[in-house]
Amino acid sequence: MSQRKKIVLAITGATGAIYGVELLKALRNAGVEIHLMISPWAEVTLAEETDYSLQEVKQMADHFHAAGDLAAGPASGSFVHHGMVVAPCSMKTLAAISHGLADNLISRSADVCIKEKRPLILLVRETPLSAIHLENMLRLARLGVTIMPPVPSFYHRPVHISDLISQTTGRVLDMLGLENMLVKRWQQT
CA–CA separation, 112 and 2 (whole Å): 24
CA–CA separation, 88 and 150 (whole Å): 8
Flag whether 144 is in a domain. Answer: yes
Mean pLDDT for the stretch of residues 181-189: 80
Residues 6+ apart with CB under 8 A from 167: 152, 153, 156, 158, 182, 183, 184
DSSP for 101-126, written as a single string: ---SHHHHHHHHHHHHT--EEEEE--
Q: Of 63, 70, 50, nearest to 9 (Cα)?
A: 63
Query: Residue 109's domain spans which residues?
Result: 6-175
Q: What is the pTM for the complete model shown?
A: 0.95
Cβ distance 153 to 144 under 8 Å?
no
Flag whether 59 is in a domain. Answer: yes
Asked, as a colleague might, if the bond just before 149 is cis with ω within 30 of 0, I would say no
Number of domains the chain contains: 1
CA–CA separation, 147 and 87 (whole Å): 11
pLDDT in tens, 122-151: 999 999 999 999 999 999 999 999 999 999
Residue 149, CB-side half-sphere exposure with 13 Å CA sphere: 12
Helix (H, G, I), strand (E, B) or coil at 89: strand
The domain that holds 27 is classified in CATH as 3.40.50.1950
Confidence of residue 2 (pLDDT cuts 50, 70, 90): low
Flag whether 189 is in a domain. Answer: no
pLDDT in tens, 56-103: 999 999 999 999 999 999 999 999 999 999 999 999 999 999 999 999
pLDDT value, residue 1: 45
